[in-house]
Amino acid sequence: MQINRITVRKDGVYVSKKDSDKPGPFQSCLSESFTRIYNEGGQKGLDQNIFDLVDSTLIELCGNHPSIKRYKDTLHSPEAKELFEEYRLKIEGIHEGLSGNDLRDYFFGFKTPRTIAYFNKRWEHKQTLCRQLAEICPPVKQRSKNAVEKKR
């Protein structure tokens, strides 16, 4: 799914999105899952979830709307590069504890305590990475009342 705008309003979080496999314009709609996340964790919780979805390649951020640009700028920042390198090294460290048979068995459905522990630790590291990215993400720029009045 491609997203080109994320807007927080009083009644929830709206997303302008389209299916990347289908041609056509972006359509804005209320996102119940983003609204729930925003209500529970605020802007930082929403940011963490967006970074998680981007890292999982479930969404693609498109365009240069300020609501998207702040995520893109964060992902391309020197601080983010350092965080990604730290994450990569942690994953390599826990990966070394598994044999090829362990991984093969996991992907064929045989979950051993070692493979379960590996993937749980990997998930924890990913959540930490996304939380750290949310921390360095610049704040949302709020439109002032004067800017809204000038547009009218």
pLDDT tens digits along 103-145: 777 777 777 788 888 888 989 999 999 999 999 999 887 665 4
Position 66 in a domain: no
3-state helix, strand, coil in the chain (%, to 5): 60, 15, 25
Position 1 in a domain: no
Please provide residue 104's backbone torsions phi and psi, each rounded to the nearest 5 degrees. Answer: -60, -45
Per-residue pLDDT tens digits for 43-67: 999 999 999 999 888 899 999 999 9
pTM, to two decimals:
0.82
Position 146 in a domain: no
Q: Using alpha carbons, select from 143, 131, 140 the residue that is nearest to residue 6.
A: 140
| The residue type at 25 | P
113 is in which domain, residue-wise? 78-133
Residues in CB range of 90: below 8 A, 6 or more apart: 125
In the predicted model, is pLDDT for residue 39 greater than 70?
Answer: yes
Position 86 in a domain: yes
Three-class DSSP category at 24: coil
Burial class (CB in 10 A: 0-12, 13-18, 19+), 108: exposed
For residue 148, the model assigns a pLDDT of: 42
| The residue type at 64 | N
For residue 152, the model assigns a pLDDT of: 45
Position 24 in a domain: no
Position 35 in a domain: no
Position 7 in a domain: no
Number of domains in the chain: 1
Position 127 in a domain: yes
